[in-house]
Structures are given as structure tokens and as C-alpha cells.
Structure 1
């Protein structure tokens, strides 16, 4: 039980990534009825990403990127985003509710940990964080043993059908058909995307000319209903060169920027940036299987 009185436990309705059969845990091994088995690593996570489903030897964020993101987020620079995510997940719930929540693309687990810390409005949370990066999942598992941590990908979620009440996809890559499969009817998907002014000041330093921002998509994915949208916008001072570097490593600009642009960022000793995040809440339609 956390400090708010909510019981936080690992979500365990997992599916074999090879055949979709339910997985059962015995000790430190997950097995399915067809004999496939998956060991729990010493850090406490399980790798359910088959080799044939990898696009590279070491997919997802590398270890230095994970370390940088953890160092940045734990300082609270994105706290208003975490607060808004938790509020959106927990809204419209009964005090007696028990919610199964999956973070698809959890990184090192910051937003799930924040959700657990905010969960005073429900009785129980069963939580699972999934990421394609083994380094991210290792970091998450080291920091919190209350949740399930899984290496996997969004295109083949190792989760049983219609078992999830709330799903997060924050700055990630949604696979709507797969999300529909694991969500319960009426289950909700919360997505976070960068707004037009997100990190504008950093981008103005990196690039000679800023590209026009893409307008938000207006079409609603098939099988979903739109429940709510919200803009989270604030200014934050990044006080030193190390944290500016950490922020850059969290973004795609690390790979898109020229050597000249990266050099300009390295010269900074502090930077005030705008955080502009668009939150969208979608609900699985009740008539979708």
C-alpha cells in the first residue's frame, strides 16, 4: 500500500509472446501451457520480446539515454506533466475501483511511479510498464518492485485480451489495433504528444530555421471515442549544462541536429524552456470486441 492508502500491485495477466497463451508464474519463471518459458531477471523484470520481433540487436533507448532521462525527470522539471497524466488516468473512477494500468513505452518508469504516488482516489492499482529498451526496463525494475516490468513492443503486447482499464502512451508510438485488443470495453487510452511550442527555445538554438509545427490530428482512431483533450504548458529553468545535456538526450533532436547545433547547446550553462504537451484521452467503444 502506498502513502495515499491505495494498494499497488504488479499486473500479472500476461500472455506468451510466441502463442498468446496465458502465462503463469512459478518462482522466477513464467511459463505457458505449450511449454514456452521466460526467466525473471535478477533486477525483477521479464523479457517477453522474442528475437524474431527485434529490428536490431539492442532496440530502443541506449543505456546513456536512460540514465540521462532518469537524472532529468527525478529533478521534477516535468512534474506538471506527471500531475496532469495522473489526474487524467484517475478521473471518473469510483473510490472502490481497482484499475489495471499499462504504460506502453514506460522508459525508466517515471510516470507510473508518479501515478502510484497520486492514487488516493482508487482502492487498488495493478500496474505494468513495458518498453522495447531492456536498459529502460532494467532501470525501472531496480527502482520499484510494486509493479510488473516487461521488455516488449507495442505491436505485440504480451498481455491477455480485454484486461486493461487504463493505458498510457506518452511521447511514444501507438499501435491502435493492439491497444484495442488489450483494453476492456470502456477502457481508456491516454496519449501525450509534443505541442507546437514544446522546447521551442532549445530548438531555436539547434536549428537555423524551425519547421512549421504539425497540426494535431483531428481524426479519431477507429474503435475509439474521444473523451477529453488538455494542453499542459509551462516554463522551466534548466540550471546547468549537465541537465541541458540530459534534456537533449531525451529528445529526437539529439540525432537530427547538426554538429554546429549540438556545439551551441554544449556552450549553454542555463536555459529556460517552454514545455508544451498535448494530452488526449480516448475510450474504447463499448461495441468493439
Structure 2
């Protein structure tokens, strides 16, 4: 088992309704099936992460299929690269599990274990209730509750992370898949908010201890109704800059055309 105790870093063993380490630290399994591995001293706030209202809105937006091509692209890329029997895979910042479930389905023939991790308890609760094939945990991406060199792959879709932790938990030869905004991603929202629309910079980040082996661009147009358009804006950093006039314009629109544009980059652990 890859999970470790967030307090003493010893291995966790699954019991009937809890996880325990050799030091006697115990973490109960919630009714929905997830485990909370975020000690109170690591929370940073009372309820870190997105609110319940935001998570429900995000779930509705994703269920409408607007990001289905990205979901499929991530799953296909993993299925093409991860080939070891019984692989261990982690989705960092899994949210309500939309992408995590697709990863688990893609790797099902290999009989591995897919984990979903998020700091927001409400997100993990929703995910665990809907996707029982994934083991979800509440935890910080800055202190991953996984043993050294225990994971065959880690997926990072927009999520913050600690790069030293990625080096620590991914096996030599293992994979890191990142998803970042492509140059034209949601440029129509930018046009509503900024006087000058600047394209996203190309992904040029390097991860110490990893070699980039593949990069794909995935772009397509979306036609959104007013509810989905306002939800999508809420899901972006642009929301903080949007004026009330912008929100009213989106709520009144019968449809809103915008571009989805993603960059998928695959790295291999040296």
C-alpha cells in the first residue's frame, strides 16, 4: 500500500473502517469511503478549498460534457504510457473526481489503484460517493501522504503542487502528466474583462529530475448557455477581475462562444 501516515510518515494499513500505522495513529474511513489525511495543523484555514456551492456548480458544468475531450485525452495518454502491472496512480487536486474516474477506467485492465487527492473535504466527499473504484483522500499537495518512489504516475490538472514531493513519490521511470492552459484558452472571457487580450504563454516549465517526452495541444470551440458560462467564469482566476456588468452580460446571454485550449505535457522520472 502506498499511503503513509501524515504525522509520522510510516506506512498505513487498511483495517475494516480505518487506516492505522505502527505508531498507532488512526484515520477513520468516512461513510462515503474516503479517508481524511489532513491534520488540523496543516489545514491553513477552517475549510480549505472550494465551497459546496462551487463544487456543485462545477459538477454540473463538467456533466454537460464541455471538457469531455480533455477527460478523454488524459485517459488515452495514460493508457498508452502506463503499462506496469497493478500501477499506482495519483490525481492531484482531483476535485469532484470527473477526470480521476476516467483515469481509473482507462487503467482498469492493469488492476492497479488510482488515488484522488484534494484539500477540499466537500470535493472529496462528492467524488468518493460517486466513484467507488477510486480511493480518495483529503490531503495537501504540499505534503503528499504517499511513500517514497511508490507511484507509477501522477496527474496534475491545473493543481498546485510541491515539486520536491513529485520527485519523492514517483518511481524512477514513472510518469508525470501536467495539463496547463493553451495560448487561446478562454480568450473570449479575457476580452470581456481586459482592454488588451494577451495569449497564455506556452508551457515552458521544467521539472527537476524529469525529462519531457511528449507534448500535445488540444483545442476546440464551445457553445455555452448562460448558466454554464457563469459557472465556467467562476472556475477561473478571471472571476476576481470580472465586473458586475460582465456577470450580468453572461447571465443575460442566450449563448456564449468561447475556445477551450489545453496543453498536455508528459514527463518521465529520471
Is the pair's TM-score, using the shorter chain for normalization, greater than 0.5?
yes
- Residue 76 (str. 1) matches residue 65 (str. 2): yes
- Residue 169 (str. 1) matches residue 161 (str. 2): no
Q: Distance in 2 between matches of 1:30 and 1:98?
A: 21
Q: Distance in 2 between matches of 1:38 and 1:210?
A: 50
Name 2:178's counterpart in structure 1.
Answer: 191
User: How many aligned residue pairs are there?
Assistant: 270
- Residue 30 (str. 1) matches residue 16 (str. 2): no
Name 2:190's counterpart in structure 1.
Answer: 203
Secondary structure of the structure 2 residue equivalent to 1:60: coil
Name 2:104's counterpart in structure 1.
Answer: 116
- The answer (yes or no) to whether the contact 1:68–1:250 under 8 Å persists in 2 is no
Scaled by the length of structure 1, the TM-score of the pair is 0.88
Name 1:5's counterpart in structure 2.
Answer: none
Q: Distance in 2 between matches of 1:25 and 1:188?
A: 26
Of residues 107, 116, 126, the one that matches 1:139 is: 126
Name 1:104's counterpart in structure 2.
Answer: 92
Unaligned runs of 5+ in 1: 1-11
Name 1:265's counterpart in structure 2.
Answer: 250
Cα distance, 1:59–1:223 mapped onto 2, change above 3 Å:
same
Q: Distance in 2 between matches of 1:63 and 1:99?
A: 32
Of residues 249, 252, 255, the one that matches 2:240 is: 255
Secondary structure of the structure 1 residue equivalent to 2:104: helix
1:201-245 CA distances to partner (integer Å, 9 max, x unpaired)?
A: 22222x04245234234342211110111110001211x222222
Q: Distance in 2 between matches of 1:140 and 1:147?
A: 9
Shift in Å, 1:138: 0.6
RCO greater where, 1 or 2, for CA within 8 Å and sep 6 or more? 1
Cα distance, 1:79–1:45 mapped onto 2, change above 3 Å:
same
Unaligned runs of 5+ in 2: none
